Amino acid sequence: MNKLKRIGISALAGSLVSLSAAQAGGVSVGGTAEITYTTLDNESVTGHPIGTKKNISFSGGGEFANGWTFGILHVMNDGMSGISSSSMNINMGGIATLAYDAGTGGYGANAVDNIVPIAWEEIDYGLSTGITDVGQVSKTKGVVNFTVKVPGSGTALSLSYAARMGAGHVADGGTSGGTDGGAGDKGVDLVFDVLNVDTSWFGWRLGTAAEFVRHPESCANLDTYNDEANQGGCATSAQAEDEYGGTGYTSLRVGPFSAGLQHTFIDNGTALASGAAWNHSWVAGGALTIGNYLSFSYGMGEDQTKYNDAKRNINYNSDPFAKDNTYESVTNYFQGGSAAANWGPISLKYVINTLTNRSDQTDRLRDQHQEINLSMAF
């Protein structure tokens, strides 16, 4: 990354006087340029297979007089028409970090939604249906995160809080406004890294995470379940109760070999006529890394969708995979592999992912995504 411009930061007076004066910080501009060639399964409409991606980011940081450091990141969207993500953080001596995140998803449960080692992309990348995972709270815009770490062992506790789920970027002095609208009101997630050892030749990570999304206008929170006049509406409304979920994960690395396993459960809180009641998924895989130049990975996983009672009597005779043709429980099967080769700022990457038995019950029971990616960072 080439530093194009340095800007002295000296406007930390006023409300920050109590933290003492800051040393001069800096802002740098970087980004990537990517070109891809993509092929899908034979039954999909591919169209033009060549695509491009253009990213420009602005990052900066500095140090307070007490030794604490701060950092900022602003990333432009691919169309260069505005900000796609933004974050700010204060690192308190490597023990605690306070951050505000708007779209990067680098904190909280979203940062551990899938810790299985990969050479490039996860096994559900590019497919029409993804593997159910945690992270909806910490990947929304406007999340406050606080993380505390124990030096040496990697043990850490992280708490993320979103005052409004599904909000967009909010300018200074503004508010997101709006009501629940199905996206949820407040959200919180908690990540506990029991162990996170990372040395040159050995690594072991073990942890768990949980999330909760409050729906104040759901039937349960409005107590309309006990209201006979509204019971019919509760059976067909989009949200019956709050959402919650959790995951457990572990990964092990010995020399150039690494492997990981993760299990996730999500209760969607939807009403009887609104589809999926809950999802249970698992994903496992391994990777081989040769120096800093080559890496290969392979993984597989399953995602089981359990539907509500109102959906069980719908018959899909054309689908031989549906359990007893009653649409009660459907399992998606994922498998995929990727490879990457790096030459300094230039990388050549490849991925092939396959999904069978799609839960949306369309006629196509197989979905495949292949992609070759050439990227250049500056």
Q: Which CATH superfamily is domain 14-377 in?
A: Porin (2.40.160.10)
Q: Tell me what pLDDT residue 239 has.
A: 75
Q: Tell me what pLDDT residue 22 has.
A: 47
Q: Tell me what pLDDT residue 47 has.
A: 75
pLDDT more than 70, % of the chain: 77
Handedness of CA 232, 235, 238, 244 (dihedral sign): positive
Q: Identify the residue with better confidence: 320 or 274.
A: 274
pLDDT mean over 6-22: 37
Q: Identify the residue with better confidence: 133 or 318.
A: 133
pLDDT mean over 281-306: 95
pLDDT mean over 249-277: 88
Among 82-86, 138-142, 197-201, 220-224, the least confident range: 220-224
Confidence of residue 18 (pLDDT cuts 50, 70, 90): very low
Q: Tell me what pLDDT residue 358 has.
A: 59
Q: Is residue 315's pLDDT more than 50?
A: no
Confidence of residue 174 (pLDDT cuts 50, 70, 90): confident
The 10 Å Cβ neighbour count of residue 298 is 17
Q: Over the stretch 211-256, which tens digit does the pLDDT of each residue have?
A: 999 887 777 776 654 444 444 456 555 677 889 999 999 999 999 9
pLDDT mean over 122-145: 94
The 10 Å Cβ neighbour count of residue 11 is 8
pLDDT mean over 150-167: 90
Residue 87, both tokens: 């974050």
| Residue type (1 letter), 317 | N
Q: Tell me what pLDDT residue 365 has.
A: 62
pLDDT mean over 333-342: 96
Q: Identify the residue with better confidence: 359 or 241.
A: 241
Q: Is residue 324's pLDDT more than 60?
A: no
pTM of the prediction? 0.82
Contacts of 233 (CB under 8 A, 6+ apart): 219, 224
Among 57-61, 230-234, 293-297, 305-309, the least confident range: 230-234
Q: Tell me what pLDDT residue 39 has.
A: 87
pLDDT mean over 40-44: 71
Q: Over the stretch 71-117, which tens digit does the pLDDT of each residue have?
A: 999 998 887 777 889 999 999 998 999 999 999 999 999 999 999 99
Most confident of 29-43, 251-265, 297-311: 251-265
Q: Tell me what pLDDT residue 357 has.
A: 77
Q: Tell me what pLDDT residue 21 has.
A: 44
Q: How high does pLDDT run on average in the chain?
A: 82
pLDDT mean over 38-46: 73
Confidence of residue 184 (pLDDT cuts 50, 70, 90): low
